[in-house]
Amino acid sequence: MQKPGDPERIIWEGYPSWEQFTWLYFFSLWTGLRGLFLARLGFPGWEMWLVGAGLLLGLVVILRYWAKYLLTSKRVILRNGYSGKDMASVGFEMFKSVEVMQGPVARMLGIGTLVVHCEDSGRSLRFRGIKDPEVIETKLRALLPPSSPVLTHQPA
């Protein structure tokens, strides 16, 4: 159990999973195949379709590292992966509820969104596209104080 004077430790950190960007892989494949098809038919400008496919794949890398998620011994943090600045942070004392959201495709890919709802003004912090979100939810619940409303209240 964390004592009030203890230093903050990082328990888990991660980025959105590569699977989060499956839709961009699809568009990149579609664009690349279109470029190859146009090249095969001898149409000019096919090179730009292949460049576009490469740019879409580059966009995946940029988007993946845009957000970094951290679970510490005192709070959850959404940090900009490039600047290192905190974009949002919620201390355990502000938690109202914690849930995992997964659609059928996300469940199949093994990813999901961990949502932390705050007591103040209905605000929430979302860790989108994380791998094995149930494992992170379990780690988070294990860190909460025994009197936390999150442990006694499950969202509907």
Residues pairing with 88 in the sheet: 78
What is the distance between the alpha carbons of residues 101 and 71, in angstroms, rounded to a whole number?
18
- Provide mean pLDDT across the span 30-53: 95
For residue 43, give Cα distances in angstroms to 35, 39, 53, 64, 137.
Answer: 9, 6, 17, 34, 52
What CATH fold (topology level) applies to the domain 10-17+68-152? PH-domain like (2.30.29)
pLDDT for the residue numbered 119: 85
| % of residues, the chain, pLDDT over 70 | 90
Band (pLDDT 50/70/90 cuts) for residue 144 is confident
Of 129, 135, 127, residue with least CA distance to 106: 129
pLDDT at 94 over 70: yes
> In this structure, are residues 59 and 95 in contact, taking their beta carbons and an 8 Å threshold?
no
Q: In this structure, is the dihedral angle defined by the CA atoms of residues 32, 37, 42 and 43, taken in order, positive or negative?
A: negative
Domain residue spans of the chain: 10-17+68-152, 20-63
In the β-sheet with 111-118, what is the strand arrangement from edge to edge? 95-101, 111-118, 124-131
pLDDT for the residue numbered 155: 46
**Residue of higher predicted confidence among 155 and 140:** 140
